[in-house]
Chains A and B, each alone.
Chain A
Amino acid sequence: MFAVCADPKAIEGLTWLSCYLTSGKHLDFYWSFVTVLLLLAVTAPAALAMGFGGAMAARSRILPLSLLGKGYAALVRGVPDIVFFLFFVIALDQGLEYLKSLAVCADHAWPWQGLEFRVCQEAKVPLGASSAFWHQAYGFALAVFTFALVFGAFAANVLYGAMNAVPKAQLETAEAYGMSHGQVFRRVLMPQMWVYALPGLSNLWMILIKATPLLFLLGVKDIVYWARELGGSKTQAYEYPHPDWRLWYFLGLLVFYLCFTKVSEIVLARLSARLSRGQATAAGEAMRRAGA
């Protein structure tokens, strides 16, 4: 990156360290932090949307729909999440390729043959010839979908509870004013449920942050991958030889996560105070008293 770094073997001390930390591989490492943040930024709304759908389904008056919503939340909670992560990534991949093979392949043989999963070349997702970028993007998309599915179930549970926590009298009053079901939902239930959902959702956000290292298991080149890769001992054959430094890399990751959760805690506490304003809860009442 810098002109000084042209010959890493000749430099020492701080210059060496600054050259080492700005080498090409390290820039990839720093980008992988962006991958993690991107995953959080995409997954959180997606999981919230899934959860909202699940909670709406569970509240539905149509029995099969309500059973589906409740079953979805119950199943995901009973089983270790990592099982889902390992399962869905292969299952989704195979499912997509099977569906695509029905459309594009000449022969429609059942793809699970003995010890192989076989579809024709044209049905591969992404195609074998596509660039490395598409392979990475596809892996990332599968990861996002799996995360959203698992965390959606938890969000569904939280939101279902929050919808039930809104005082019944408020909904009945709205109905007495002649509002339709949809209107009651949009105008009275929706604005009020968030304050009840927030403790559960902030808990979920913390869990989501702490779940991001599992990206590594899904085959995405994330921070854990790079920490292992860069930290491993490097012989003289490499540009920057060093002994096994994985401990320090993982220590760095630990500090990153600790800072991240701490900042989230502070932001969520502020958000909770903001949402409590004017609500018919103990926190809202305390605020009204303090103001008066």
Chain B
Amino acid sequence: MTCWETFNAYAFRSIGIGENLLPKSDFTLCQQFTLIGSGLIWNVYFGALALLFGFFLATGIALAKSARSPWLSKPAEWFVFIFRGSPLFIQFFLAYEALQMLPKAGIDVFGISVDTAWTTRAWAGALFVLFLNTSAYAAEIFHGALRSIPKGDLEAAEAYGITGWQKFTRIQWPTMLRLAWPSYTNEAIFLFHATTLVFFSGFPAFRQMGDALYYANYFADKTFNPFVPYPIVAFYFICLTLLLTSGFNAVNRRLNRHLPSNQTSRIRLRPNLIR
């Protein structure tokens, strides 16, 4: 099999397109690169969607956490504490077991039967956990940023008669994003790193459709040689990290475009590797 044929057969194996049977013997470097790269689709899927949905929930929770009413701030504090204070690995296990407790036949809501079987599948269940998890981490970052908005900015807004919702959309939210962006970039990077945990934490890989690390682990188990597949995963993730950083840097430049260049906050990679 030439490398091009291998690529055609396995490039989309992780989403069920192409050759069904995984390679069993005579593993080539090309096979490993193709299959592990194909698994990366899942990492990007989990990371991108969790980040997208999480962004909105995180903004809401950050606002709730800085609200004066304890009816809003206490639940938000607990949400953040539970998801930041416990390992993501345990959260995955717990969610999987909890979702399995749902009745298999479906739940009756006002006479309409709601199917529940799909919730235990990784694409839904794990995405949900990652979404809540990244919301909690990002909410903490946004909350910190909300608290460090310069007092003068808010007073100036009020002096101009900008209050309420308008003050939030025009002053608070853009400043919050600008201040939070360097930390939020790190959060995004480590969220992508965390997606590798999904298929090692209870969620089964349906028809061997797994993520990059799942396939790397498959090759390492078959060949007893960890020195090829894991460095390939590492290579892919370094590329992904660089891509992500450049994207977030572009946003950062836009958020800081009104400031003199010596005042902009640079994005630095900070350790926050495991959740």
Which residues of A come within 8 Å of B, CB atoms? 77-83, 86-87, 90-91, 94, 112, 115-117, 150, 154, 157-158, 200, 203-204, 207, 209-214, 216-217, 224, 227-228, 231, 244, 246-247, 250-251, 253-254, 257-258, 261-262
Contact = CB atoms under 8 A, between A and B. Distances in A.
Given A258-B81, A258-B85, A86 B224 contact: no
Interface residues of B, number: 44
B82 interface: yes
A96 to B, nearest CB: 14
A136 B274 CA distance: 25
A207 B90 contact: no
Interface in B208-231: 213, 216-217, 220, 222-227, 230-231
B226 A91 contact: yes
Given A251-B94, A257-B87, 17 more contacts: A79-B233, A81-B193, A81-B274, A83-B237, A90-B220, A90-B224, A90-B226, A91-B227, A94-B224, A112-B224, A115-B223, A158-B271, A216-B89, A244-B100, A250-B93, A254-B90, A258-B86
Contact of B86 (A90, A210, A211, A214): A210
Contact of A214 (B89, B216, B238, B272): B89
B70 to A, nearest CB: 19
Interface string B185-201: 00000000110110010
Nearest to A82: B196
A72 B86 CA distance: 28
A86 B25 contact: no
A85 to B, nearest CB: 10
Contacts of B272: 203, 207
B196 A78 contact: no
B93 A81 contact: no
Contacts of A115: 25, 222-224
Contact of A79 (B85, B93, B200, B238): B238
A254 B193 CA distance: 22
B124 to A, nearest CB: 18
Interface in B228-275: 230-231, 233-234, 237-238, 241, 269, 271-275
Given A112-B225, A116-B224, A261 B86 contact: yes
Contacts of A91: 226-227
B98 interface: yes
Nearest to A259: B85
A160 to B, nearest CB: 12
30 contacts: A77-B269, A78-B234, A78-B269, A80-B213, A82-B197, A82-B213, A83-B216, A83-B230, A83-B233, A86-B226, A87-B220, A94-B224, A112-B225, A115-B223, A116-B224, A117-B224, A150-B273, A154-B271, A158-B271, A210-B88, A211-B274, A214-B89, A224-B89, A247-B98, A251-B94, A257-B85, A257-B86, A257-B90, A258-B85, A261-B86
